[in-house]
């Protein structure tokens, strides 16, 4: 039987492990489910309360979070969230391995992030043999609605992932990608600006005050 430390080492190294060998992992998952339940009972305008629960639930949380409920995690403690991140409704993050969201990431509705896999062999799967792989969503990434990101994937900064995509491999920075499996369609460049070079980006005063 592996110790908790041995299980965590195997997760980080991509080696097979069995989470059921450490009962604390089960209880941590149930505790996270309780916190998600409390979070998902809050009303839309209870912003401070949502921020407080998210800060307690996640491993790291930056400033200016916007989260639309429901929101679900597996453990929460392995999730790092940067500044200015938006989670639209229905986000699910199964953080068997670390999951990192950079700054100014936009996650569309009903997106899922799965940082673990079950075994393909049916007997191994029955006895909970798993593998894990870290997910990294770099700065300024936008994922359209109903995207799925699987274990071990990195999405490069500024990339846009089309709605309904299943991302099973790394996506380079500053590209438009879509499909199942997700593939690069083209680069994103200056010609994709909607309002031109003369526009000065700034937030309305009601947001910054």
- Beta bridge mates, 71: 91
CB 153 within 8 A of CB 132: no
**CA nearest neighbour of 129 among 31, 28, 29, 11:** 11
Which residue in this structure is represented by tokens 């992030």? 113
Q: Long-range pairs for 170-176 at CB < 8 Å and ≥24 separation?
A: 173/138
Annotated catalytic sites, by residue? 118
Q: Hey, which residues does 72 pair with through a beta bridge?
A: 92
193 contacts: CB under 8 Å, gap ≥ 6: none
């Amino acid at each position: 039987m592996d110790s908790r430390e041995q299980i965590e080492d195997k997760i980080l190294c991509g080696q097979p492990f069995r989470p059921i060998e450490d009962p604390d992992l089960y209880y941590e998952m149930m505790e996270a489910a309780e916190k998600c339940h409390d979070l998902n009972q809050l009303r839309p305008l209870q912003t401070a309360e949502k921020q407080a629960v998210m800060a307690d639930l996640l491993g790291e949380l930056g400033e200016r979070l916007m989260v639309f409920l429901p929101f679900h995690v597996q453990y929460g403690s392995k999730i790092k969230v940067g500044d200015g991140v938006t989670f639209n409704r229905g986000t699910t993050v199964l953080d068997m391995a670390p999951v990192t969201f950079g700054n100014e990431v936009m996650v569309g509705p009903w997106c899922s992030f799965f940082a673990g896999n079950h075994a393909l062999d049916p007997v191994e799967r029955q006895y909970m043999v798993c593998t894990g792989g870290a997910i990294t969503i770099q700065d300024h990434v936008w994922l359209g609605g109903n995207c799925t990101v699987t274990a071990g994937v990195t999405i490069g900064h500024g990339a846009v992932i089309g709605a309904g995509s299943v991302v099973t491999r790394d996506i380079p920075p500053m590209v438009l990608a879509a499909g199942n499996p997700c593939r690069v369609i083209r680069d994103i460049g200056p010609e994709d600006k909607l309002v031109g070079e003369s526009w000065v980006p700034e937030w309305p005063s009601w947001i910054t005050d």
